[in-house]
Amino acid sequence: MKQVAVLTSGGDAPGMNAAIRAVIRCGIGKGWGMYGVRKGFSGLISGNIYPMGTRDVGGIIHKGGTILGSARCEDFYSEPGRRKAIRTLRQIGIDALVVIGGNGSQTGNYQLHQLGFPVVGIASTIDNDLCGSEITIGVDTALNIALEAIDRLKVTASSHQRAFLIEVMGRNCGYIALMSGIAGGAEYILIPEVEADPEQVAESLSLAYEHGKAHAIIVVAEGAKYNAEALINYFEKHKDRLGFKIRATILGHVQRGGAPGAFDRLLASRLGNGAIEAIDRGEFGVLVGLNKGQITTTPLEEVIGKTKEISQAMVELAHVLD
């Protein structure tokens, strides 16, 4: 009988709990012993690992965050720390580890794999910057939270004839900004992948005002060169020509905390099952993701240290629609 442990690491994402639930229940369905690791990789080193049954993951599929918790672990950055983690796993009798998380988490996962421990990763990050999966757990929910905020702020902007700069999360990936900006009808979208000129943004605002628009919405990715703060500082020097009064709203971590929507619950369930199936096949050192509608595996060495490219077709569509 296999013994399999699961942990969550890095930033929380809506749907992580659904993935935990799927891993535990699908593993139990095969007759395996299933374990949860508290507080990410630090739990591996400290031995914060405990058995989990079907009822331990009952009533969590709709909850945001992660019941296993997540924490930074300085010791894990060193090889002696990682070897200690492996010793802990082997002392308990764990045969394989499932890591649910994004780039940093899968880098740590790969390092365990390099030291000879069987691992499988599940793609989970709201940034959607992880190679090996077209979309990752948490993205759809975070995107809808951003879109709802844009829709609400547009109402206020129209009431007061203002322009709003709305900064969304995504680190150095502009996916959430690009997609929520298109879906929200933004006048301008700024993302890290495309060079932006604040003067062009100012001209766009001036033009919208001259055309009699009651509002203007600018969506900005947090990793863009000109984020909300930088644009506000620039516009302060040119406020007489803009027409609109400018306000900035930074959504921040509110995008992470929502209850997962249907898409993320289904995606997490499929990826969790995919991880168990990969272990059953003896396929290790891979990331389980979604590609062309199918659950796939990609070697971790092809995933880590790389940046997913933004869709140029969607960038061009945003320019046409603004």
**In degrees rounded to 5, what are phi and psi of residue 43?**
-70, -30
Comparing CA positions, the residue from 270, 162, 264 lying closest to residue 209 is 162
Separation between Cα atoms, residue 100 and residue 179, nearest integer Å: 24
Amino acid symbol at 177: A
Tokens of 52: 């989990």
Separation between Cα atoms, residue 70 and residue 80, nearest integer Å: 21
Separation between Cα atoms, residue 264 and residue 260, nearest integer Å: 6
The helices-and-strands tally (H runs, E runs) of the chain is 11, 11
Count of residues making up the chain: 322
Catalytic site residue from 12, 56, 127, 264: 127
Strand partners, 248: 165
Q: Are 284 and 268 in contact (CB under 8 A)?
A: no
Comparing CA positions, the residue from 99, 143, 167, 170 lying closest to residue 258 is 143
Separation between Cα atoms, residue 271 and residue 125, nearest integer Å: 13
Is 127 tagged catalytic?
Answer: yes
SS3 (DSSP) at 219: strand
Q: Are 284 and 118 in contact (CB under 8 A)?
A: yes
Helix 262-281 and helix 16-29, axial crossing angle in degrees, nearest 10 = 40
Separation between Cα atoms, residue 83 and residue 238, nearest integer Å: 57
Active-site residues: which are they? 127
